[in-house]
């Protein structure tokens, strides 16, 4: 059940407890609002108001603003009007619904998949409240490669992922909970000499952990001629901004030179440019859920 439906059911229940109230809040007196507030006092703190879309907020919550705490309503209003507004720490995260078949990942969860989908579709990309909104899951994530089962070699990456467009890469960095990755709308290719793919729609990102997605770093490409890199000894490469490479001329060896060095993207996604080791990585192709 969507959050707006839960809100509507709560209102319906509240009206049933107060049969003298008609379901037209624009006709209510201050006493009527106070009566409804008292009736719903134990329900209101459980509603994920920040999960609602701006349209649902405007049409279905705003008429009842007098039953909400003033501070809550002001913060809620600010979340839709000011993308730079900082969320408070006590906001309830989106309610998990039973959504099967979206993603089978050992690295990320549905909350992160939802944020990635928003960024792909350019929805709320500037909003600091994006993680509080109801899960946005228009895509299925089809697993192409998982390092823990398919290995960590460029050869296997190119076997399983070349010539497939619209891919998302997730990399879990060894010794930390950190997750980095990127979206490539182009295909991956293997070349003996370095070549690059041009696109304005790719981006890279980082999360502190699988369960800490409140302050992700999203970095869009700004040198579109060098958005993604192709080489037979590299894995998924977003130029030097995310680069997994084998130093020796042997694509059957595991990656041994991995780095994030700002180059073609607008901002750094890690605090350090030191090399790192990979705990696991996964690559998915995204497809619309209604696609066959």
pLDDT tens digits for the chain (292 residues)? 889 999 999 999 999 999 999 999 999 999 999 999 999 999 999 999 999 999 999 999 999 999 999 999 999 999 888 877 777 878 888 887 667 789 999 999 999 999 999 999 999 888 888 888 899 999 999 999 999 999 999 999 999 999 999 999 999 999 999 999 999 999 999 988 889 999 999 999 999 999 988 889 999 999 999 999 999 999 999 999 999 999 988 888 999 999 999 999 999 999 999 999 999 999 999 999 874 4
Tokens representing 202 are: 């790719």
By the 10 Å C-beta count (0-12 exposed, 13-18 middle, 19+ buried), 250 is classed as exposed
Please tell me the number of Cα atoms within 13 Å of 81 on its side-chain side.
7
Of 80, 42, 235, 95, whose CA–CA distance to 156 is shortest? 235
pTM equals 0.87
Contact present, 269 and 164 (Cβ < 8 Å): no
């Amino acid at each position: 059940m969507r959050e707006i439906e839960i809100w509507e059911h709560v209102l319906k229940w509240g009206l049933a407890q107060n049969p003298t109230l008609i379901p037209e809040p624009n006709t209510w007196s201050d006493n009527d609002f106070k009566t409804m507030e008292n009736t719903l006092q134990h329900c209101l703190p459980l509603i994920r108001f920040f999960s609602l879309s701006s349209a649902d907020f405007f049409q279905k919550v705003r008429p009842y603003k007098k039953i909400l705490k003033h501070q809550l309503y002001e913060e809620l209003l600010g979340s839709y009007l000011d993308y730079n507004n900082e969320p408070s720490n006590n906001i309830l995260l989106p309610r998990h619904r039973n959504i099967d078949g979206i993603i089978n990942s050992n690295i990320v969860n549905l909350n992160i998949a939802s944020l990635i989908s928003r960024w792909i579709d350019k929805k709320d990309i500037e909003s600091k409240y994006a993680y509080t909104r109801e899960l946005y899951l228009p895509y299925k994530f089809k697993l192409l490669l998982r390092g823990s089962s398919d290995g960590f070699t460029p050869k296997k990456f190119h076997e399983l992922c070349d010539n497939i467009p619209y891919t998302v890469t997730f990399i879990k960095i060894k010794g930390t909970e950190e997750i980095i990755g990127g979206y490539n709308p182009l295909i991956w290719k293997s070349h003996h000499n370095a070549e690059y793919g041009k696109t304005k729609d790719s981006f890279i990102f980082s999360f502190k952990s699988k369960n800490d997605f409140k302050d992700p770093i999203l970095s869009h490409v700004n040198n579109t001629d060098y958005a993604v890199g192709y080489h037979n000894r590299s894995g998924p490469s977003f130029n030097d901004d995310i680069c997994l490479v084998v130093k020796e001329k042997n694509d059957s060896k595991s990656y041994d030179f991995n780095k994030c060095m700002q180059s073609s993207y607008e901002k750094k996604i890690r605090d350090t440019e030191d090399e790192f080791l990979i705990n696991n990585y996964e690559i998915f192709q995204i497809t619309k859920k209604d696609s066959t």
